Amino acid sequence: MGEAREVMDRVTEAAFSEDQEALKALYAPDAVAETPDQGTVSGQDGILAWFGQFATAFPDAVWESAHKHESGDTAIDEGYVVGTHSGPLAFPDGTTVPPTGKPIRVRGCDVATVAGGRVTSHRFYFDQMDFLGQLGLAPEG
């Protein structure tokens, strides 16, 4: 296992155990995250706030790993986020959705580039319509 894979595994563990101190230490101060819901999120504090909003809405969330990959300085995870919407969910426009009590199981993929033991770039992918649909929040078509 290389550095990228080790760091990615530690990021996943810290994110889902809500260990903010460990998570912050795993990101470079000028790290950038690309997210489906908020676009570009910059810096350690911005990335931690993005993770924190999800942890607030889904405090029981876990990661079900399907596949792990590593190539050079990049690690890729594929799997599912599973949890229950039991806290307020903040949207990028500033609105908040109260807890629906609904369970989710959303397929996702994330790609992290690592240098010097820290993530410098992290790209997250998940189907927002699937996510909102499972919560009963997707617009009716």
Select the more confidently predicted residue: 141 or 110: 110
Please report, for the chain, the start and end positions of each structural domain, with discontinuous segments joined by +: 3-134
The share of the chain scoring above pLDDT 90, in percent, equals: 94
DSSP secondary structure string, 50-65? Answer: HHHHHHHH-TT-EEEE
pLDDT at 43: 97
Residue 138 has pLDDT above 90, yes or no: no
Average pLDDT over residues 66-83: 98
108-119 pLDDT per residue, tens? 999 999 999 999
Reported pTM: 0.94
Q: What is the second-level CATH architecture of the domain 3-134?
A: Roll (3.10)
Residue 92 has pLDDT above 90, yes or no: no
How much is the mean pLDDT over the chain? Answer: 96
How distant is the alpha carbon of residue 44 from its chain centre? 14
CA distance 50 to 39: 11
Contact (CB, 8 A) for 92 and 37: yes
Structural tokens at position 45: 């504090």
Q: Where are the alpha helices (DSSP H) in 17-139?
A: 20-25, 43-57, 128-134
